[in-house]
Amino acid sequence: MAFKTVIGSIADHFRPKMDAVGVTHNGPLTADDAFIERSVNQPQPRENEILVQVLASSVNPVDVKMRSGYQDKGVFRIFGLDVVGRVAAVGKDVSRFAVGDRVYYAGKQHHDGADAAYQVIPAEMAAKAPENLDDVSAAAMPLTTITAYDILVHGFHLPIAKDAGKGKSVLIINGAGGVGSILIQLAKYLGLTVIATAGRADSQEWVKKMGADHVVDYHRGLVRQIADLGYPEVDYIANLQDTTGYWDLMVKTIRPYGEIASIVDTTMPVDLGELKSKSASFSWIFMLARGNFNVYLSEQGQILEDMATLFDEGILHSTVTKVYHGLTAYSIRSAFQDVAGHRAIGKVVVDFAPNIKASEGGMPLEDGSDKESTFSDGPDNIQEKDGQAEKTGKSELNDEDAPTHY
């Protein structure tokens, strides 16, 4: 045992290292050491995996939730599920990709995350990134696009084809968030009439830009607003905000034989029976279930491949609104704060480019022993995309107005 440990330590000493950002304790997101930087062992791909040099990653509400659920005190946990990167090595059974390919993917929940210079994932979960999207624009899209696809295909049983839902209507609760922003675009491609909820003026403007036909304000009575638009009942409802809080609205507003899909945990038991008289359906959409249960992994790669075509044809557009530069504890923490504040419009991305440049062509910055630091970078390196982002680099954790949306 001791012998094996010594051998292990020696072997570790010669393994390539890489930079990563993660947590070792469950502190508040406002704390300076909410995230820390470390040099850790670079992973190696197994036979069906690819090693990806991460070029950019984006933050989703589920990342914030995973962080707040962290309980392994002392264990360095790396988050990050949404990736654009370049293939640095391929496992021996991988034929779909070659070294140098630019790929995009959403990874696995219980697995080392993407907030690191390199990540390993099953090749079948990735696809070549859309050629017309730059790294930052592409990194914003995998997780939300797969989720939006799942809502339409698994939740509403519509094929992803032009005008496949023509004549039907969908209510999207929280249209301005990451999933809402791409779901609106996909729903419009399917020919659906889209009614989206949004509270603030900038959110309302954004959902219209995404293509929503109608915007309703969740601060005022939604049932009445939707009926006034001429849709006392809708064919589909996508709840991206609060399943318990919007239950009554959904029961009232769904059409007989209509279909509801939700990505948001219930906070209390709901009266499912209220949907029975309408013979309605309710589907949970949780795209990470594939990775968690190790089922249908290749669906994720296939969906991203199909969607890449729609991005390249200009039918779908990236929903990135805010970019942080450099993989640092500061940039990751700031991006998490933006998303946790529940006011983020579209997607927040961390562009790893500065790290990559510094290490000359994408090799790890350092291969020494673990280092640790906080705030290695300041608020200067925030970039807003398309003028849609909010003009702030500080925490927005105290927004009491907006309901939870993860």
Interface with a second copy: number of residues (CB under 8 A) = 34
Interface region with a second copy, contact rule CB under 8 A, candidates 25-33, 266-274, 336-344, 397-405:
266-274
276 binds a second copy (CB under 8 A): yes
Please name the helix (run of DSSP H) or strand (run of DSSP E) that holds residue 50, with its range, or none.
strand 49-59
Interface region with a second copy, contact rule CB under 8 A, candidates 118-126, 203-211, 274-282, 315-323:
274-282
CA dist 331 and 349 (Å) reads 9
Nearer to a second copy, 119 or 147 (CB): 147
275 binds a second copy (CB under 8 A): yes
Taking the alpha carbons of 116, 145, 244, 195 in that order, is the dihedral positive or negative?
positive
SS3 311: helix
Name which position in 23, 287, 332, 402 contacts a second copy (CB under 8 A): 287
Q: Where are any strands of DSSP class E within 110-168?
A: 118-122, 127-128
Nearer to a second copy, 28 or 269 (CB): 269
N residues, the chain = 406
Measured in degrees and rounded to the nearest 5, phi and psi for residue 234 equal: -120, 160
110 binds a second copy (CB under 8 A): no
Residue 96 DSSP symbol: S
167 binds a second copy (CB under 8 A): no
Name which position in 55, 280, 344, 382 contacts a second copy (CB under 8 A): 280
> Minimal distance in Å, beta carbon 284 to a second copy?
4
Nearer to a second copy, 381 or 404 (CB): 404
> Minimal distance in Å, beta carbon 256 to a second copy?
4
Residue 64 backbone zone (phi > 0: left; psi -120 to 50: alpha; other: beta):
alpha
Determine whether 294 is exposed, middle or buried from the number of CB atoms within 10 Å of its CB (0-12, 13-18, 19+).
Answer: exposed
CA 302 to chain centroid: 17
The token duo for 261 is 């899909």
**Which residues, 6+ apart, have CB-to-CB distance to 227 below 8 Å?**
none
> Minimal distance in Å, beta carbon 281 to a second copy?
4
Nearer to a second copy, 73 or 276 (CB): 276
Beta carbons of 79 and 22 less than 8 angstroms apart? yes
**Which residues, 6+ apart, have CB-to-CB distance to 331 below 8 Å?**
324, 325, 350, 377, 381
4 binds a second copy (CB under 8 A): no
Nearer to a second copy, 140 or 275 (CB): 275
Name which position in 15, 157, 219, 394 contacts a second copy (CB under 8 A): 157
Query: Within a 10 A sphere around the Cβ of 307, how many other Cβ atoms?
Result: 24
Nearer to a second copy, 90 or 250 (CB): 250
13 binds a second copy (CB under 8 A): no
Q: Which residues ranging from 224 to 243 are in contact with a second copy (CB under 8 A)?
A: 243
295 binds a second copy (CB under 8 A): yes
> Minimal distance in Å, beta carbon 107 to a second copy?
16
> Minimal distance in Å, beta carbon 267 to a second copy?
8
155 binds a second copy (CB under 8 A): yes
177 binds a second copy (CB under 8 A): no
Beta carbons of 346 and 321 less than 8 angstroms apart? yes
Residue 123 DSSP symbol: G
93 binds a second copy (CB under 8 A): no
Helices (H), ranges, 156-263: 178-189, 201-210, 222-228, 247-253
Determine whether 368 is exposed, middle or buried from the number of CB atoms within 10 Å of its CB (0-12, 13-18, 19+).
Answer: exposed
Interface region with a second copy, contact rule CB under 8 A, candidates 58-66, 125-133, 153-161, 386-394:
153-161
The token duo for 268 is 């209390």
Name which position in 256, 314, 368, 387 contacts a second copy (CB under 8 A): 256
Residue 132 backbone zone (phi > 0: left; psi -120 to 50: alpha; other: beta):
alpha
392 binds a second copy (CB under 8 A): no
302 binds a second copy (CB under 8 A): no
**Which residues, 6+ apart, have CB-to-CB distance to 372 below 8 Å?**
36, 37, 38
298 binds a second copy (CB under 8 A): no
CA dist 217 and 220 (Å) reads 6
Interface region with a second copy, contact rule CB under 8 A, candidates 15-23, 291-299, 359-367, 398-406:
291-299
> Minimal distance in Å, beta carbon 303 to a second copy?
13
Positions in the binding site for a second copy (CB under 8 A) = 150, 154-155, 157, 243, 255-257, 265-266, 269-273, 275-287, 289-290, 292-293, 295-296
